[in-house]
Every structure is written in C-alpha cells, then in structure tokens.
Homo-oligomer: A and B are copies of this chain.
Amino acid sequence: MDIPARHSDHEAHSGCALRSRGDDCRFCGVRHLSICQALDINELDQLEKMASDSVYEERAVLFREEDEVSSVFNVTAGVARLIRSLPDGRRQVTGFALPGDFLGISLEKTWRYSAEAVTPLVACRFRRSHFEAFSEKNPHLIKKMHEFASQELNLAQDHMVLLGRLTAEEKLASFLVEMKKRWARISGHEPGLIRLPMGRQDIADYLGLTIETVSRVINQMQRDRKLVIVPDGVRFVDQSYFDDLAL
C-alpha cells in the first residue's frame, strides 16, 4: 500500500495518453469543460502564470483526507478516485474525477476526502492562496465555481438516492449510464466503448456494494446479452435495458 506520488512538474508530455495544457491554456483540451470556460483570453493568460502541471502515476496520492488544502487542481488527463475512509477500513468512493473536473471547489481549510490517481494523471495545479486571490478579482470565476459546486451537489443527491434506494442491478446500470454520459461529454461524441479505468473494488466502493456483487451483476448482464465486457470497459448491447433501469 501507500505508493508515494512521484510528481514531476512541467513534464506533462510524458506519454501518448497524457495530454495537458502544455503551458498554454489557449490550447488546453479540457478548457471548455473546466471552470476556465468562465475566463477570457486575457484572464486565461494571468491564470496560466500561476499554474503548474503535475503528473501522477497510477495509484499516486494527490492529497489525503485531513491534509491542508494548499493546492487546488484541474484534472486535464486521466482519472482519480475520491475516497472517504472509516477508521476500520471501510471505504466510500464519493466520486471519480475525470478530465475537466476541479478539485478544491469547497472553501474548507482541510480536504474532506482523499484523491488517488486511478490511471496516470495530469492535473493543472494552483497554489490555493494564489487561486483565491485571483478569483477574488474575477467575479466570473466565482460565479462559475458556484455553478460547479451546485452541479456537484446535484450529483451528490443523485448518489444518495442510488446508495439508499436502488438495487445492485440498478446501481450498476446507473453507474454505467453515468460513465457513458460523462465520457460522451468529454470526447464530444457517443462512445461505443464505455471506458472503466477503475477496478471492480473502486466500483463496489462507489456503489456501496462488495466486489463480488459487482462482478456477479456485470457478468450476469453479459450472460443476458445486455452488454459485453471488453478490456478496460464495457460495450452496451441493449441500451434501452440500461435506460429503463438507471436512475
């Protein structure tokens, strides 16, 4: 356990799967998805001066629950899991951060969850103090951050319904449909393959299930010809089955 993060700033172009700002926000692939969409070229230029790319290996820790919030992050490539842990080791994955997602929207002094790279990951990092000073001067940005927070609150409420009131089958269907929508938004088109870079255990902890139940339900869906399991994800065969079941 506990692989330390090896993050080498300003070395974003270290692999084909990792695309990032590349030190020029204007060409950032996730700008239109991220809070930066609130900024004009001028403001973007200012913000860029405060940014530094951080690269994380699979399993690296971006920050831990209880840590001081010294930096905030904009994920530009890769996927992270956001985790709340109980003292006895039980985990709840509260969400997955995908490209365009912002970590640090809340104003607390310490993180209330841990973030770990599920895949190799690149994030645009800002010192918290700098970012706050900047946002203080840019009402657009504050508004946009509040919008993002509202959106997250809605997702959190969806998640509560899922955890409290759905069956295992409905949970899986909802999760897969959600991932499909999120990848679609990111790529700009309906993906044939729904990428699932996180492991079964992460999915289980996201859905409030065990790894065995996740495995059983997905494989049952495959046996029932609702989907096919492929390396690194699934492919829907019967879309309407999922639409009917999902939250």
Contacts and interface: CB of A to CB of B under 8 A. Distances in A.
Contact of A156 (B91, B107, B153, B207): B153
A111 B121 CA distance: 35
Given A112-B157, A153-B153, A154-B108, A92 B145 contact: no
Contacts of A91: 165
A129 B108 CA distance: 29
Interface string A196-209: 00000000010110
B84 A160 contact: yes
Contacts of A208: 163-165
Contact of A157 (B113, B149, B154): B113
A14 B113 CA distance: 45
Contacts of A160: 84, 92, 94, 156, 159-160, 163
Nearest to A208: B164
Contact of A142 (B84, B92, B146, B157): B146
A90 interface: yes
A146 B107 contact: yes
A41 interface: no
Contacts of A107: 146-147, 150
A104 to B, nearest CB: 10
Interface in A102-159: 105-108, 112-113, 139, 142-143, 145-147, 149-150, 152-154, 156-159
